[in-house]
Structure 1
Amino acid sequence: MGSIAGRAATTPTNYVEVGNVRYAYRALGPADPVDKTPVLFLQRFRGTLDDWDPGFVDALAKTRHVILFSDQEIGTSTGTASKSVDEKARNAADFARALCLSAIDVLGFSMGGFIAQAIAINEPALVRKVIIIGAAGGGNPEAAPPTDIDFEIALHPEYTFEDVRYLFFTAGRGEETQAYLDRCATRTSDQEPPVTPGVIGKSVALIGDFINGKTSHFKKLKDLHQPTLIVSGDKDPFIPFKNIRTLFRELPNAQLLTYPNSGHGPHQQHPDEVAEKIEYFLSRS
């Protein structure tokens, strides 16, 4: 991959071919990090490369090779949108191998956290460590549902300031919400197109299958043996904290980091601090 120094707001979008599919990605970090294993970022529902918090990405990229990845039919990636979490996991693994990577750490946010679990379970030789942000395990009889209006807001054609505040932060966190939006606005060129309605519909279906227990992922959590860091807010409207604790309980080798008065995106509310905690987790043998 060569030197991939750069910053999240300006680093160019690159592409790699896997069969007939062209995957979009951005890579940044130190030219010669102590640890050569890159961190592959797996994005949330409706998220593109542009929706990663540049402050958080830059903070982790001070010490780590960071690769932001877009699955098929997301942004400028080609192909056909995935219909299952396992299909998304296979695509991410194929992408990593196309970059000649034999080992990766994975960081998944929200829907990306579902994918991170699947790729770690399905590809134990490829995935070294796992970071899950704002996500729980697959559906099970103990799971509590999200609040009623979450998906209604998440499906708005465009997000208002208050939509972003509600979905990713908590009440009283308007200043942090604006700071996140301001950081995202620093990228002014080489931007990705928004996710299309057809792809959004497929994502809704695969998320529903996962959280409603129509897949077998919850039963497979015992097979996820890689060291795992779960990062959550205690007031996440999408993922009730009860479900986070259940994921922590079911994983053989997990740590749980919870931020008080924080919502679905604790890494967006506390970008530098969360990046520092992740670096500490990754650096320990």
Structure 2
Amino acid sequence: MNAYDDLLLWASEVGSGDISSLQGAAAWVAPSRTPRDVIDDLVALGHVDVSSGRWAVTRTALTRLSNGGGNAVVVGARPRWVVEAVDGLDTSDDPVLVSLSDHLIENLLLEQEGPSTWYFSLSHDGPWDALDRIGMRRVDDLSGRLLSHLRSANLGDFRSVRPGETVARFIASADGSSDSAWEPTRFDREPGGYVYLQNNQRIHARRTTDGWLVMDRRAVEWLELGPERPLLWSAPRETSLYVHGGWRLPSSVERVLVLRTGRLSTVSHLPGAEGGAEVRRYINIPHAVAESVAALLDKELKYA
């Protein structure tokens, strides 16, 4: 167990709250990191959802990993009673739970710079309805389901009316570097990425000729950077996807990639370019998944 596990335990016991409470807890756990970065990790790992200035833990689930050799990972809330219920399966007075312990084998708790990844091995014929008794549900290939949803729903919600008072516009630098910035403005006459203020809440959206697509900040930034910028690289032989280190992926897209392993990305370099710019590496990403991600973000996929 590490400090990030303590943060997840606290969040799981509290359940939900104003975003400032989670930011305060994140700052206490990881004072050398920004609270936003720590919370983004919780979201990517599927433990927490954030919306409209509030956060909430997601329902505890056991999801079988795609190309994971029968392994599954626990996502969502991890309250103390769930951990204790899993630990006590084989000594339970309930014969159904004892039977469940023969099919649900805890095989690893792997630490990282975030909540530890909790792995299990699953058989195909277990009494999976009994998972409800220990506060879990089973979801096969949650990453694949999320990706299918994004393909059909895209990254934003359409609005025909301006979502608030215009306060800033995203200006991409010529080379797509991290020098790109949000600049104050009062108008959104031209298509582009904007911030609006409504009921003291910041809303990010892309202005189009038809209306507005409301989406998270990082999704606006990625789409405004343009399709030709070198930001994504697929390495099919090692089933990895490399992402430009200066631009973190939209939370919904990053969750798709992270839930293929239950592991956060690692800071690395492109193969053969050890002295080059830093990139984020996501593993167990087949080329077809990398292509889907590039299509969602309207980016040309390069090869590494």
**Shared fold, TM over 0.5:** no
Q: TM-score, normalised to structure 1's length?
A: 0.26
**Hey, which of these two has a bigger chunk of strand by percent?**
2
Q: Which protein is bigger by CA-based radius of gyration?
A: 2
Higher relative contact order (CA 8 A, sep 6+): 1
**Hey, which of these two has a bigger chunk of helix by percent?**
1
